[in-house]
């Protein structure tokens, strides 16, 4: 499932995938794969992303059914 909330939060902060990747210590391809739904990040990576974006885990990664 695509993570459009991650993409929207990143865009709202005017961060490129590359910039976010550098902030959390992963590759741009990893951020792209998370946004595309092709990669399920570890909880530590999720937390790091949320800290950079100033959002909670629920806001970015919780799946609504």
Stronger pLDDT, 65 or 44, i.e. the higher one: 44
Domain count, the chain: 1
| Residues 26 and 36 sit within 8 Å (Cβ to Cβ) | no
| Residues 32 and 25 sit within 8 Å (Cβ to Cβ) | no
Question: Which pTM was predicted?
Answer: 0.92
For residue 52, the SS3 value is: helix
Residue 41 banded pLDDT, cuts 50, 70, 90: very high
Residue 63 banded pLDDT, cuts 50, 70, 90: confident
Torsional class of 26: left (φ above 0), alpha (ψ -120 to 50), beta (otherwise):
beta
CATH code for position 27:
1.10.260.40
Quote the domain boundaries for residue 51. 4-61
C-alpha span between 1 and 53 (Å, rounded): 20
Average confidence score pLDDT of the chain: 95
C-alpha span between 1 and 4 (Å, rounded): 9
**Residue 57: is its pLDDT beyond 70?**
yes
**Mind listing the pLDDT tens digit for each residue in 9-23?**
999 999 999 999 999
């Amino acid at each position: 499932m695509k993570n459009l909330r991650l993409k929207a939060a990143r865009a709202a902060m005017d961060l490129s995938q590359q910039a976010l990747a550098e902030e959390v210590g992963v590759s741009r391809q990893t951020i792209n794969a998370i946004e595309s739904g092709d990669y399920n990040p570890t909880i530590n990576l999720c937390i790091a992303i949320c800290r950079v974006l100033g959002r909670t885990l629920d806001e970015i990664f919780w799946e609504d059914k």
